[in-house]
Structure 1
Amino acid sequence: MEGSNAKGASRRNVLAGAALLTGSMVATRAAAQGGVPGDILSFSRDVREPDLIVPLWPSGRMPGGPVPNVKEAVDDQWDNAGLRYRVAEHVTRPTLSYFAPANPTGAAVLITPGGGYSRVGIDREGYESARWMNSLGVAAFVLRYRLPADRWGAGALVALQDAQRAMRLIRSGGEGRWKVDPRRVTVMGGSAGGHLALSLAIKVYDRTYPMLDDMDHLLTRPDGAILLYPVVTLGEGTHVGSRTALLGPNPSAEAVAQWSFDRSVPGITPPILLVHAVHDRVVPVDHSLALFAAVRASGGAIDMHLFEEGAHGLGLRGDPAWPISRWPDLARAWQVRSGLA
């Protein structure tokens, strides 16, 4: 057993070293070429709101009940840099916020912001990322999903129900309200939102709710996934807040295994881009290392970029001096190479 652990630790060290070298080389090359066009923080300072906000579910037919006795609210604050920081709490009316690009390429992205499954980010990891994607010609959709921490009847499934319905709604064209290529829809999420995005990418055969209309014939599997400092495992080394919110204070071993993605993933999992800081104090970098190994073992496609410095939940607000702040440049290159731009 000790030999096996040592071998695993050695392999993880090699992976970490290789990823750090790759991330640093790419960031250095990007800096030499001018990096990300413009000021990436401009998308955080922008005040543009969604072009359209649509409900996910037909009136009176939302699955996952009974509805908990909570009141939906938005906590509206400003951070120390003067940037707006809204979060949604106790979501009972899940929605999709659509940002239309001025010069559409046909590609689209479903954005699932983090919040530990007890809140949902609106600005950071949400609207700001949508504005950035719009600047690249990508139609962006920000999901305000229901929170398992509120203890819905369907438990942990409610957030995934919303994510699956959102993917179908995007591909359907929203009854003519937008036009996207259904074969170029990426999902992007950070932290617990990264776990939700990963659940969408991996649980592709799980039908989490009864069919409601023709839209529910459409596939929920995204064509690619951009995961920022994601929660991957709910077992040892997990982010305890996310696990408790998703599964309750004393989850069974079976429930933990069902919602952990650190051991094996199906071969049908779409291509993945991973970004993580080695010294992330909220979600350990071991989460991304474990996912990288699991996807590689399945024969899947995964790019991983690790950085020495960086904060959890930075979104587009990272310190420009940190190489990790150039993750949008890496993500864009990955989108183009993967045919998702």
Structure 2
Amino acid sequence: MPSASRRKILAAAAALPGTMVAARALGQVTRSADIASFSKDTREPDMIVPLWPAGSMPGGPVPAVTEAVDDQWDNAGLRYRVAEHVTRPTIAYFAASNPTGAAVLIIPGGGYSRVGIDREGYESARWMNALGVAAFVLRYRLPADRWGDGPVVALQDAQRAMRLIRAGGAGRWKVDPKRVTVMGGSAGGHLALCLSTKVYDRTYSELDAADHLLTRPDGAILLYPVVTLGVGTHVGSRMALLGPNPSPEAIAQWSFDKSIPGITPPILLVHAVHDRVVPVDHSLALFAAVRASGGAIDMHLFEEGAHGLGLRGDPAWPISRWPDLARAWQLRNGLA
């Protein structure tokens, strides 16, 4: 996006309702006292649920890869697991102790070549649980592994996950099917956006009663999402999703900076202006596209911040209070 256009959208965004541009002048903002604790918590999922019945997974042929988990610790001493070469997609279910009936499907990022587990995944699930929201963390197949169905395999997994959540897991959980949010960061934000816009795309053949249910989420929380695969894209995500020489048609099919269907659910958008991985222009373009479609979108831009921060942001950064903004947004939209 040209810098002049970017300045215009930033200026316009600051003047619109539902939008906040937080600058350095705001100074330190204190986050909710317990936000950081969810990164230090060691609670694992209550249940791991396979997405597909044995022998029924679409998207083949299966690439010759071996699924693995890279288990590391970051500089702050926090666990940082990442799934690679996913061949058995799942949802990790975290039950809320005081459930409200609301649920969230969490889609971590990883550039479509890996899938985060802890940061943007389990940590956010624990936080949502504390608010009474049932949480499901998606471990999806990665287009970078070159599945037979190409980029569609990740969307197949996201659609199936949304349907299984609404179906109740054969009585293993109970959620209100009209209060299911999707939340995704970076490439996970792109997949959440695909789930929110490609609601009429039937990406696989019906398997069971769950596949009669809607795939459209009731709201979407998008953190520093990949929006366009065209000019200014995150090159790694485009390479993983579409390969080295994608056609203009393929780029347009998987980009959301030009037009958005009117059926797209309400969106909460969070991005740092100086994000060095996915430029803020992605969120600016999405904001403009949703506004043009007549859709509902709240956009929060922050001067300082890091890409992929999840709940681990520096408390001195105003962006680190995004969970409070997300909570208020969920309550306002009846999704909490």
Aligned AA (1:11): K
Deviation sequence 1:18-50 (CA, Å, 0-9, x none): 48982439x96995xx742x2311000000000
Q: Distance in 2 between matches of 1:216 and 1:101?
A: 25
Name which of 166, 174, 196 aligns with 1:171. 166
Q: Deviations over 1:85-135 (max 9, x none)?
A: 000000000000000000000000000000000000000000000000000
**Equivalent of 1:123 in 118, 121, 126:** 118
Equivalent position of 1:75 in the other structure: 70
Cα RMSD (Å)? 1.9
1:16 and 1:306 in contact (8 A); partners too: no
CA distance in 2, matches of 1:297, 1:23: 20
Checking the alignment, whether the CA contact within 8 Å between 2:28 and 2:318 is kept in structure 1 is no
* 1:316 positional shift: 0.2
Query: TM-score, normalization: structure 1?
Result: 0.94
1:131 and 1:165 mapped to 2: Cα distance? 23
Q: Taking structure 1 as reference, are residues 325 and 295 closer, same or farther at Cα in structure 2, changes over 3 Å only? A: same
The yes-or-no answer on 1:43 pairing with 2:38 is: yes
Q: Residue 24 of structure 1 corresponds to which residue in structure 2? A: 22
Instruction: Tell me what 2:50 maps to.
Output: 55
Tell me the CA shift for residue 9 of structure 1.
4.5
Deviations 1:197-225 (A, max 9, x none): 00000000000001111110000000000
SS of equivalent to 2:20: helix
The alpha carbon displacement at 1:12 in A equals 1.6
How do 1:132-211 residues align onto structure 2 when only pairs under 5 Å count? 132-211=127-206
TM-score scaled by length of structure 2:
0.96
Runs of at least 4 residues off by over 2 Å: 5-11, 15-25, 27-31
Relative to structure 1, is the Cα distance of residues 223 and 29 closer, same or farther in structure 2, using a 3 angstrom cutoff? farther
CA contact (8 A) 1:30 1:329 kept: no
- Secondary structure class of the residue paired with 1:154: coil
Q: Specify the alignment match of 1:12 in structure 2.
A: 9
CA–CA separation in structure 2 for the residues paired with 1:322 and 1:336: 24
Q: Which amino acid aligns with 1:125?
A: E
1:11 Cα shift? 2.5
Residue-by-residue CA offset, 1:164-200 (whole Å, 9 max, x unaligned): 0000000000000000000000000000000000000
Residue in 2 aligned with 1:249? 244
1:48-71 superposed Cα distances (whole Å, 9 cap, x missing partner) = 000000100010000000000000
- SS of equivalent residue, structure 1 residue 175: helix
1:232-271 matches, cutoff 5 A: 232-271=227-266
Quick one: distance in 2 between partners of 1:6 and 1:45? 40
Stretches of structure 2 that go unaligned for 5 or more consecutive residues are: none
User: 1:86-97 counterparts in 2 under 5 A?
Assistant: 86-97=81-92
Report % sequence identity: 81
Residue 221 (structure 1) aligned to one of 212, 216, 220: 216
Quick one: structure 1 residues 135 and 8, their matched pair in 2 at CA, closer, same or farther if it must change by over 3 Å?
Answer: same
Q: Any stretches of 5+ residues in structure 1 without a counterpart?
A: none
Pick one of 299, 304, 315 that aligns with 2:299.
304
**Distance of 1:35 and 1:257 partners within structure 2:** 38
Separation in structure 1 between the aligned mates of residue 270 and residue 46 of structure 2, nearest angstrom = 29
Inter-partner Cα distance in structure 2 for 1:18 and 1:309: 20
Among 277, 291, 296, which residue is 2:286 paired with?
291
Could you say if the C-alpha distance between residues 107 and 127 of structure 1 is closer, same or farther in structure 2, counting changes exceeding 3 Å?
A: same
CA distance in 2 between counterparts of 1:28 and 1:9 reads 22
Instruction: Give the letter aligned to residue 305 of structure 1.
Output: H
Deviation of 1:14 after TM superposition, in Å, equals 1.0
Q: Is the 8 A contact 1:224 1:271 kept in 2?
A: yes
Q: Secondary structure at the match of 1:274?
A: strand
CA–CA separation in structure 1 for the residues paired with 2:256 and 2:221 = 15
Greater relative CO, 1 or 2 (CA 8 Å, sep 6+): 2
Partner SS for 1:257:
helix
Structure 1 332/72 Cα, relative in aligned 2: closer, same or farther at 3 Å? same
